[in-house]
Structure 1
């Protein structure tokens, strides 16, 4: 395989630290979400959700175009951090909420399933974390 591009980001201080991309476009404080935390910042799960949602939406639109569908779409990714009883650690789960305009519910579900087979994030997570697909057509 040939590398198309490589993205870089450096984190310092873990979940209560800072993350910055090599080009400076991402330059964010990290905070652990909790009702008592008044600090502003993001967390790794939000960053993963943003990446997965944008990648999946790109895959969905590419699949739709190849299959000669004209759609409008949005993907909302919900990334949950959960306790893992297997090792008393943590694990992730993802719900992808796909909203499509321009196709029937049945067509939308087929496109979303095909995008899930094609998307690099879906390939990377397959068999590693639970991913739930919710599809709504308008």
Structure 2
């Protein structure tokens, strides 16, 4: 079966980290000025939103209902080691009202479902922490 593209995000960036970026639909229109780490914040915001969707899917697959919606605080580090730059991340996940063992199972499943987690798997250091 062929894969179906569900959505294509289109952005235009001029000037890199010292410029600006705009989405083709106009929803996103940002100035990216140094030293503010807008790129890391955008990546963290997108990843955490996707991750919550993956948590919801993992819960639905197990017929679990969240009494309170989960939250994710994502931290994206831009790291320099010698002359090399790389990213590392922490996803700090809160799943209120769910037993800790069940919540950990959902977090692990969500990390396997989320496209952002899949994209970074094996490429950057990622910690998922149950709060």
- Fold equivalence (TM over 0.5): yes
5+ residue gaps in structure 2?
none
The alignment's TM-score, normalised by the length of structure 1, stands at 0.87
Aligned-CA RMSD value: 1.2
For residues 1-138 of structure 1, what are the structure 2 equivalents within 5 Å? 1-33=3-35, 43-71=38-66, 72-85=69-82, 88-136=83-131
Once superposed, which parts of structure 1, at least 4 consecutive aligned residues long, lie more than 3 Å away? Answer: none
When normalised by structure 2's length, the TM-score is 0.92
Q: Find the aligned partners of 1:82 and 1:127 in 2 and give their Cα distance.
A: 17
Instruction: Give the number of equivalent residue pairs.
Output: 127
Any unmatched runs of 5+ in structure 1? 35-41
Residues in 2 aligned to 1:60 and 1:68: alpha-carbon distance in whole angstroms: 12
